Amino acid sequence: MGQNDDNAIRAARLLHHRKAGLAPGDPVAPPIIPATSFHLPSNGTGAFSYARAGNPTWTELEAQLSLLEDAETVAFPSGMAAISAALFACLKAGDRVILPADGYYVTRALAESFLQPLGVKVETLSTAAFDTADLSGAALVYIETPSNPGLDVCDIRSVAARAKAAGARVVVDNTTMTPFLQRPLDLGADLVVAADTKAPGGHSDLLAGHVAGRDADLVARVRDWRRLSGAVLGPFEAWLLHRGLETLELRLSRMCDSAQRIAERLQAHPRVQKVRYPGLAGDPSHRALGGQMANGGFLIGLTLADAGVAERFLSACPYLAQSTSFGATHSSAERRARWGDAVPEGFIRLSVGIEPVEVLWTAIDAALAG
Ligand SMILES: *Cc1c(COP(=O)(O)O)cnc(C)c1O
């Protein structure tokens, strides 16, 4: 309950965060400022100098993200740019990093292609195995819970405590939940990373990401990485994400309520072989509800008989975008085996959108019957 109350206050503050700084005649919505250079005579210092180091439109966005995370936040041009910054800020040659074997595959590919050749030892564990694994000797423990696409969980508080005891830092990819549904920094994570391309942007029209943390020195390294590597968010994308965040709490509320109802009906459906949704009482991830997850989220994993049945379902349902990615206003779904994920051929990741739930369910039910 406390989390819900705090979330309600966060959602309201986020909508009004500009107010205190406004002078009469200032725009209520933030302006998009595309300038690359800022007036800086002689030895003068200003709030802004050159746009790779800072931009006023980012400042508006980071104010919102910092309110959401209760932490200093650095915005990036994609989720992977944010993840790269966190990894490079935390790791050096000779270090050992433990990554999820069943999480977002690009994170593993990045580590194996670019960190390993620089002398970082890259190891993987399944998400559920982080709960009992020996973490000693690691410099960085990186988790993603619930994992994309399998929706397995691990206990963030327990992993963080054991990682700390072993002298490791902890980074949590919170993309599948967002700060409204899960708060890794409150549970002991050093950094949280997220793809704001998903639910925070929410309209399938922008790439963005962020890193947040409460250790000022570590966040300063992340900020330095952005300035030195040049992985910077364009002001238009920053503005779009600022706009998307204003409705995030509202959209999530509809999406997660609908996902719970749809998961329950899918579970009872004779054409569906298996359903993974943390909000279902019998789901292996249900144990994370209440403690670290506010609800079951908006992603459902469902397994149909085979690839053909799954593809026919996807093309028959008029209210499912057949696309990758998730977290948008519109529901979307895809067969994950097409990307080589270690899932059954008939496994579909369904991202529930904001369509009125009975209209959406009627269409899903009809497409399953077809
Ligand atoms: C999409 C995603 C990312 C990467 O985000 P991009 O904006 O596509 O770079 C990282 N982690 C998870 C869990 C994701 O789903």
List % helix, strand, coil for the chain (3-state, nearest 5): 40, 15, 45
Using one digit for the tens of pLDDT, what is the confidence trace for 156-171? 999 999 999 999 999 9
Task: Answer yes or no: is pLDDT of 35 > 50.
Answer: yes
Place of tokens 């993974």: 276
3-class state of residue 232 by DSSP: coil
> 180 C-alpha vs ligand 1 centroid, how far in Å?
18
Q: Is 347 near ligand 1, meaning CB less than 6 Å away? A: no
pLDDT at 340: 86
Q: Say which DSSP state 32 is in.
A: P
Work out the mean pLDDT of the chain and round it to a whole number: 96
Q: Is 104 near ligand 1, meaning CB less than 6 Å away? A: yes
From the CB of residue 92, how many other CB atoms can be counted at a distance below 10 Å? 10
One DSSP character per residue, 56-73 reads: HHHHHHHHHHHHHHTSEE
Confidence of residue 4 (pLDDT cuts 50, 70, 90): low
As separate numbers, helices (DSSP H) first and strands (DSSP E) second, the chain gives 10, 12
Alpha carbon separation from 305 to 42, 184, 310, 313 (Å, rounded): 70, 36, 7, 11
Higher-scoring residue by pLDDT: 3, 106: 106
Q: Is 84 near ligand 1, meaning CB less than 6 Å away? A: no
- Pair of tokens at residue 322: 């057949």
Alpha carbon separation from 120 to 117, 171, 189 (Å, rounded): 7, 16, 21
- Pair of tokens at residue 302: 């469902």
pLDDT at 42: 84
Q: Which residues contact 147 (CB under 8 A, 6 or more apart)?
A: 100, 102, 103, 127, 153, 176
Mutate to test the pocket of ligand 1, among 105, 151, 175 (most ligand atoms within 8 A of CB): 175
Taking residues 301-324, what's their average pLDDT?
97
Using one digit for the tens of pLDDT, what is the confidence trace for 61-105? 999 999 999 999 999 999 999 999 999 999 999 999 999 999 999
In angstroms, the CA 354 to CA 4 distance is 20
Q: In what order do the strands lie in the sheet with 169-173?
A: 72-76, 209-213, 191-195, 169-173, 140-144, 96-100, 121-125
Residue 346 in contact with residue 310, Cβ under 8 Å? yes
The DSSP bridge partners found for residue 299 are: 351
> What's phi and psi for 310, nearest 5 deg?
-65, -45
Share of the chain above pLDDT 90, in %: 95
Question: Which residue puts its alpha carbon closest to atom 8 of ligand 1?
Answer: 79
What domains lie within the chain, and their CATH numbers?
3-245 (3.40.640.10), 248-369 (3.90.1150.10)
Residue 301 in contact with residue 359, Cβ under 8 Å? no
Confidence of residue 182 (pLDDT cuts 50, 70, 90): very high
pLDDT at 43: 78
Count how many residues are written for the chain. Answer: 370
Query: Strand 332-335 to strand 321-322: parallel, antiparallel, or no bridges (unpaired)?
Result: parallel
One DSSP character per residue, 331-357 reads: -EEEEGGGGT-SS-TTEEEEE--SS-H
Q: Which residues contact 165 (CB under 8 A, 6 or more apart)?
A: none
Q: Is 331 near ligand 1, meaning CB less than 6 Å away? A: no
pTM to 2 decimal places: 0.97
Mutate to test the pocket of ligand 1, among 76, 78, 80 (most ligand atoms within 8 A of CB): 80
Task: Answer yes or no: is pLDDT of 185 > 90.
Answer: yes
> 104 C-alpha vs ligand 1 centroid, how far in Å?
7
CA atoms within 13 Å, Cβ hemisphere of 333: 27
Residue 272 in contact with residue 304, Cβ under 8 Å? yes
